[in-house]
Amino acid sequence: MLNEMIFAGFGGQGVLSMGKLLAYAAMKEGREVSWMPSYGPEMRGGTANCMVNVSDKPISSPIVTMYDVVIALNQPSLDKFEPKVKKGGILIWESSTIKDGPKRDDIRVFAIPAVDKANKELKNVQVMNMLILGALVKINDIVKRDSLLVALKETLPERHHKLIPLNEKAIALGMSLV
Amino acid sequence: MGEIRFMKGNEALAEAAIRAGMQGYFGYPITPQSEVIEYLAAEEPNHDYTLIQAESEVASINMVYGGAAAGARVMTTTSSPGYSLMQEGVSYIACAELPCVVANVARGGPGLGTIQAGQGDYFQAVKGGGHGDYRQIVLAPNSVQEMVDLTILAFDLADKYRTPVLILSDGAIGQMMEKVELPEPIPYKPDKPWATTGKTHDRERNIITSLYIQSDDMEKKNIHLQRKFKKIEENEVRYEEYMIEDAELIITAYGVTSRTSKKIVDLARESGIKMGLHRPITLWPFPADRISELANKNKVKAFFSIEMSAGQMVEDVKLSVNGVKPTFFYGRTGGIIPTPEEVIDFIQKKAGEL
Q: Is B244 on the interface with A (CB under 8 A)?
A: no
Quick check: helix, strand or coil at residue B49? coil
Put simply, the answer to whether B178 touches A34 (Cβ < 8 Å) is yes
Sign of the torsion formed by the C-alpha atoms of A114, A120, A124 and A125: positive
φ, ψ dihedrals at B136, nearest 5°: -135, 150
CA distance B278 to A170: 47
Yes or no: say if A34 and A6 are a contact pair by the CB < 8 Å rule. Answer: no
Averaged pLDDT, A69-73: 98
Beta bridge mates, A10: A47
Amino acid at A14: G
- A chain contacts of residue B3, beta-carbon cutoff 8 Å: none
Would you state the pLDDT for residue A44? Answer: 64
- The pLDDT assigned to A100 comes to 97
The CATH code that applies to domain A3-176 is: 3.40.920.10
pLDDT of residue B34: 97
State the DSSP string of B7-42.
EEHHHHHHHHHHHTT--EEEE---TTSHHHHHHHHH
CATH 1.10.3720.10 correct for B240-353: no
- Quick check: bond before B110 cis, omega within 30? yes
Average pLDDT over residues A103-118: 97
**What's residue B144's pLDDT?**
98
For residues B107 and B83, is the Cβ–Cβ distance under 8 A?
no
Show residues of chain B in contact with A40, CB under 8 Å.
115-116
Facing residue for B337 by CB, picked from A20, A32, A63: A63
What are the CA-CA distances from residue B167 to residues A16, B161, B337 (Å)?
27, 16, 20
Distance of residue A120 Cα from the nearest chain B Cα, in angstroms: 34
**C-alpha dihedral sign at B250, B255, B257, B263:** positive
Residues of chain B with CATH 3.40.50.920: 240-353
Helices (H), chain B: 9-19, 34-43, 57-69, 80-85, 87-96, 122-126, 144-161, 171-175, 215-235, 255-270, 288-295, 313-321, 340-353
> What is the pLDDT at residue A41?
65
- pLDDT tens digit sequence for A113-144: 999 999 999 999 999 999 999 999 999 989 99
Task: Mark yes or no for CB contact A61/B32 under 8 Å.
Answer: no
> CA-to-CA distance for B124 and B120, rounded, in angstroms?
8
pLDDT digits (tens, 9 = 90+) for A9-51: 998 899 999 999 999 999 999 999 999 998 766 566 678 999 9
Contact between residue B169 and residue A26 where contact means Cβ atoms under 8 Å apart: no
CATH 3.40.50.970 range(s) for chain B read: 3-235
Asked if the Cβ–Cβ distance from A24 to B6 is below 8 Å, we say yes
d(CA B119, CA B307): 7
pLDDT in tens, B169-219: 999 999 999 999 999 999 888 789 999 999 999 999 999 999 999 999 999
CATH topology classification for B3-235: Rossmann fold (3.40.50)
List, in order, residues 6 or more apart from B275 with CB less than 8 Å away: B243, B247, B248, B249, B250, B251, B264, B265, B268, B269, B347
Q: Distance (Å) from the C-alpha of residue A38 to the closest C-alpha of chain B?
A: 9
In the predicted model, residues of chain B with pLDDT beneath 50 are none
User: Alpha-carbon distance B275 to B243, whole Å?
Assistant: 7
For the four alpha carbons of A118, A121, A122 and A123, in that order, the dihedral sign comes to positive
- Hey, are the CB atoms on A35 and B176 less than 8 Å from each other? yes
Look at residue A45 in the predicted model and tell me its pLDDT.
67
- Cβ atoms of B25 and B17 closer than 8 Å: yes
Q: CA nearest B242 in A: which residue?
A: A60
Q: What pLDDT sits at residue A42?
A: 59
Taking the Cβ of residue B223 and every Cβ of chain A, the question of whether any pair is shorter than 8 Å is answered with no
